[in-house]
A and B are shown apart, each in its own frame.
Chain A
Amino acid sequence: MKIHEYQAKQIFAEGGIPVPPGDMATTPLEALAIAQRVGKPVMVKAQVHVGGRGKAGGIKYAENAEAAKVLAQNILGMDIKGLTVKKVLVTAAEDIITESYVGIILDRTTKQPVIMVSPAGGVDIEEVAAKTPEKIFKLYVDPVLSLKSYQARNLAYKLYRDINQVRQASDIIIKLYDVFWKVDASLAEINALITNPSGEVIALDAKINIDDNGLFRQREVAAMRDPDAEEPSEVQAREADLTYIKLDGNIGCIVNGAGLAMATMDLVKRYGGEPANFLDIGGSSSPQKVVTAMSIILSDSNVEAILINIFGGITRCDDVANGILTAFRELKPSIPVVVRLTGTNEREAANILKSVNLPYADTLDNVVKKAIELAGME
């Protein structure tokens, strides 16, 4: 799960990491009040879950509170890469002497958290990694032993010469590591970590991604989810316990299992169509899940045909068939629906579906081809 910069900064502040003063605003008047409270020039930053906010004009400098109000007016409602800005962060503008990078991610290969620091901060770190890998320093941390002070200090020395700044930075690195564990982060990043003219080290930006699997024990963090920043249909799917990701194609896919769902999408492309979505109805699917899945896909006007591909293991084909039957009764789809149900209770499923007379396919490849054909694509 992604959270906004203002939320990540709240978590940083609670964890003792220095961040510039500021707050989130949803109206120009709120922005004005925050800027007045800050009492110095501010940055007005669009809060959307995409990179490149600055380039899109979503991050601006305001000399005073009145200017912040005007900027907030402009930025709120702005469209950045298809997302409407509904919140801005109004935060004290800092004079920057140096810009560094500090980030922690889970390294899948070593199964350990890796801390990365770079004196080349403030820019896209992946670009730094690609062009000047020698400017990135990594430390793999033993998750059982945890981060040691000397390790953090060694990393801090890669960024600063001045002992005061080294001390501040190593303190920040230790606190960031604690935050990473505390909130079940899959990524915790400060880009840029700056020094100002008075020699203070401050987290100018904050980014935290949360491991979805940790949300069950992270109530406060889970409450930070911003449905406005997500595709409405994906929110609806999640509430129904479905995994759905919207794409731009014409063939709607309802599949059980994530791997099979991906493979089905790939075959749609291979046989000349474009997948409209990823949708995994999961194991032991209740008929109701199928109904919700159908209604979500039918609400996408790009979809010209739907394919349902089920390989029954735990999932029983008759459950899915009952769901399809209900979906037809309730939703009356006007586009073709092609079905392939194989595995557990497939015969019962075929009987159930007799009454709706759906195009049936016997194999994975055939259900895909049939759907494309009926969508008028081939």
Chain B
Amino acid sequence: MSIFINKKTKVLVQGITGRDGSFHATQMKDYGSNVVGGVTPGKGGSKVADIPVFNTMEEAVSKTGANTSVVYVPPAFTVDAIYEAVDAGIKLVVCITEGIPANDMMKVYPYVKAKGARLIGPNCPGLISPDESKVGIMPGTIVKKGHVGVVSRSGTLTYEAIWALTQAGLGQTTCIGIGGDQVIGTNFIDCLEAFENDQATKAVVMIGEIGGSDEEIAAEYIKKNLSKPVVAFIAGQTAPPGKRMGHAGAIISGGSGTAAEKIAALNKVGVPVAGSPTEIPAVLKELMSKAGKKAAGTVKKPAAKKAAKAATKKTATKAKVKKTTAKAAAKKKPSTKKTTSKRKNK
């Protein structure tokens, strides 16, 4: 199990004939992703690593039945590429490109949302579900199939954390980089919600950094909605205020968005923050063993399933499920398939 992408994901590469596009299309294919095509206007009919190239997204989607695209086109053309993807019916757009004006993204975001699609990024490494699919640029060599969900605003820092998890024997369900820009399509709480609903995910690692207040919002969300253990890491404790630390979104402005505030917010809701990325596995293991008894309670009872069906509002559903499961702790494990597939269809 995984979130957002799996074996069935059919990927189109926008900008496939470019330097980055062709390299990563090949890498994704080699990893086992189902890369069904690429798009570069004017290069239709050609092939990149045996992947067919189309002139337009419309044509590519109609001929391949793709549901996902990954964007490598240069920043001046990226926004157009995202619009083109969602207009062609793509439901998941992963935007790797860095350097897109924030003002453009403010207009793109509501459009993508209105089309019922999801945008991940921009300025992100994409995502990988080990042994299932990789969409983006994360190195396939560092991941391992398992039960930890990883969500991060960073790239290489995420690799560092994933590698530490893998070495410690903690495999992953999905690792997702949501991007370092100010305006991003998918934020922490979208991923936390998906991980909570994913049966295979038993724990979550969340990697944040200075700037904005997404980590604080995530902390509140975790407190209210997450039954699974979460460990965090926050980068930028030594970052000076007012300076953009590489990522457009990593800036302490007007004295807010500091690492200290974020760490305090997370600690307040019981989320431990590791002192180093390499210490994440140890902190996670400790938390998981503590939550051992509680973890048995996360298995949903049939009664809870009925309640979930009856309730229409998501939040209400969750509260009910939680209460029932707490009571039903340590009981026999029921089949959970139905609940899961239902949630995924939402």
Q: A108-B249, A313-B156 are in contact. Are A263 and B233 (CB under 8 A)?
A: yes
In the complex, whether A270 has a CB less than 8 A from a CB of chain B is yes
Residue of B nearest to A125 (CB): B254
Contact A258 B246 (CB under 8 A): yes
Contact B125 A313 (CB under 8 A): yes
Q: A211-B102, A258-B180 are in contact. Are A245 and B247 (CB under 8 A)?
A: no
Contact A214 B101 (CB under 8 A): yes
Contact B138 A278 (CB under 8 A): no
Bound form: Cα–Cα A344–B137 in Å:
13
Residues of A near B259 (CB, < 8 A) are 266
In the complex, whether A226 has a CB less than 8 A from a CB of chain B is no
Stretch with Cβ within 8 A of A (4 or more), from B4-12, B272-280, B281-289, B309-317 = B272-280
Contact of A266 among B139, B236, B240 (CB under 8 A): B236
In the complex, whether B62 has a CB less than 8 A from a CB of chain A is no
Q: A106-B182, A258-B245, A263-B277 are in contact. Are A181 and B157 (CB under 8 A)?
A: no
Residues of A near B101 (CB, < 8 A) are 184, 211, 213-214, 217
Chain A contact residues, majority secondary structure: mixed
Bound form: Cα–Cα A186–B109 in Å:
17
Stretch with Cβ within 8 A of B (4 or more), from A3-11, A91-99, A109-117, A157-165 = A109-117
Contact A270 B105 (CB under 8 A): no
Q: A213-B102, A216-B75 are in contact. Are A262 and B110 (CB under 8 A)?
A: no
Residue of A nearest to B183 (CB): A111
Residues of A near B290 (CB, < 8 A) are none
In the complex, whether A199 has a CB less than 8 A from a CB of chain B is no
Contacts of A309-351 to chain B: CB distance below 8 A = 311-315, 342-344
Contact B238 A184 (CB under 8 A): no
Interface size on A, residues (CB 8 A): 54
Stretch with Cβ within 8 A of A (4 or more), from B39-47, B194-202, B207-215, B324-332 = B207-215
In the complex, whether A261 has a CB less than 8 A from a CB of chain B is yes
Tell me which of A180, A245, A263, A315 has the highest count of chain B C-beta atoms within 10 A of its own C-beta.
Answer: A263
In the complex, whether A170 has a CB less than 8 A from a CB of chain B is no
Contact A259 B158 (CB under 8 A): yes
Contact B157 A257 (CB under 8 A): yes
Stretch with Cβ within 8 A of A (4 or more), from B48-56, B147-155, B334-342 = B147-155
Contact A212 B244 (CB under 8 A): yes
Q: A108-B213, A109-B217 are in contact. Are A275 and B154 (CB under 8 A)?
A: no
Residues of B near A64 (CB, < 8 A) are none
Q: A108-B249, A364-B278 are in contact. Are A262 and B103 (CB under 8 A)?
A: no
Contact A311 B235 (CB under 8 A): no
Contact with A along B229-253 (1 / 0, CB 8 A): 0000101111110011111111000
Contact B276 A343 (CB under 8 A): no
Q: A108-B249, A260-B154 are in contact. Are A214 and B103 (CB under 8 A)?
A: yes
Contact with B along A230-269 (1 / 0, CB 8 A): 0000000000000101010000000111111111011111
In the complex, whether A365 has a CB less than 8 A from a CB of chain B is yes
Contact A280 B99 (CB under 8 A): no
Contact A111 B213 (CB under 8 A): no
Bound form: Cα–Cα A261–B139 in Å:
19
Bound form: Cα–Cα A281–B253 in Å:
24
Contact of B157 among A109, A126, A216, A263 (CB under 8 A): A263
Residues of A near B233 (CB, < 8 A) are 263
Residue of A nearest to B217 (CB): A109
Residues of A near B111 (CB, < 8 A) are 144
Contact with B along A206-222 (1 / 0, CB 8 A): 00000111101100000
Q: A108-B182, A259-B209 are in contact. Are A343 and B159 (CB under 8 A)?
A: yes
Min CB–CB distance B77 → chain A (angstroms): 11
- Extra contacts, 14 of them, besides A263-B277, A265-B239, A267-B276 (Cβ < 8 A), are A108-B214, A109-B214, A143-B103, A143-B106, A255-B156, A258-B209, A259-B154, A259-B156, A260-B157, A263-B160, A265-B238, A313-B159, A343-B142, A365-B276
B positions within 8 Å CB-CB of A: 20, 75-76, 99-103, 105-107, 109-111, 125, 137-139, 141-142, 152-160, 163, 180-183, 207, 209-210, 212-214, 217, 233, 235-240, 243-250, 254-255, 259, 275-278
21 contacts between A and B (CB under 8 A): A106-B102, A111-B109, A113-B106, A143-B107, A143-B110, A211-B248, A213-B102, A216-B75, A243-B246, A257-B156, A258-B245, A260-B160, A262-B157, A263-B233, A278-B245, A313-B155, A343-B141, A344-B139, A363-B278, A364-B276, A365-B278
